Amino acid sequence: MSYKNPIEQAITDPVLLDKEIKNIQTVLGTLSWLEKSFGRAFKGTRLKNGRKVNYPAIFQAWKKDYYDAFPNDNIQSYSFIYPDPSEITEYSNKGTHQIERDISIILFFDMEKIDNTFQYRFVEKLKEDVIIKLATLKPDKLEINRVTDEVEEVFNDFTIDEIKPEYLQDKYGALKFECTIFYKNENCILNTYTP
């Protein structure tokens, strides 16, 4: 469902991946031009004319429903984090686990609303702003592997033909930072199996 004023919801007492997502959400929220810094998005599914449509879905606790985060003009600019559905877990002999997970940090923006005096597509400037903010995270926590800046490519994990053509115009832009995030499960889980 789409709402005119979706809420940036931060999880209280997050753990594991949710804790890392909250850190990224908080850092991105300090960008002066970013109106909404959402946390984790899920792959939402709905039926439209008898076919399955996948969209970026952000949970809205106040409505117990999901915000459809496909490109729109309700919000000047927004971000969300879309994690890969699987993670790599490496066991340490001390009982903890090192976890590695691929995530996509996705931003969509209306450059005209950010700066209506713009003379060129300043996507590179916005990209640099995001990189500077992400660099404030611990360097061993996040690696940027690839950056994409075409709207259809940014949303290619979803049903892209659902993006309205007007959001592919010059005044709109998008970025996807494909990253690997590293974190630990500090809960001690010892392997007590003996053959």
Total-model pTM: 0.86
Show the tokens assigned to 81: 């984090």
- 16-185: CATH architecture: 2-Layer Sandwich (3.30)
Q: Where are the domains of the chain?
A: 16-185
The answer to whether 96 and 188 are in contact (CB under 8 A) is: yes
The pLDDT mean for the chain works out to 83
- Is the pLDDT score of 143 beyond 60? yes
Q: Residue 84's closest CA among 193, 195, 179?
A: 179
Residue 12 clears pLDDT 80, i.e. is over it: no
How does pLDDT run across 45-98, given as a tens digit for each residue? Answer: 889 888 998 988 888 765 667 778 888 888 899 999 999 987 777 766 666 778
What are the C-alpha distances in Å from 15 to residues 10, 19, 178, 180, 183?
A: 12, 5, 22, 17, 10
CB 71 within 8 A of CB 151: yes
Residue 52: per-residue pLDDT:
92
More confident residue, 188 or 126: 126
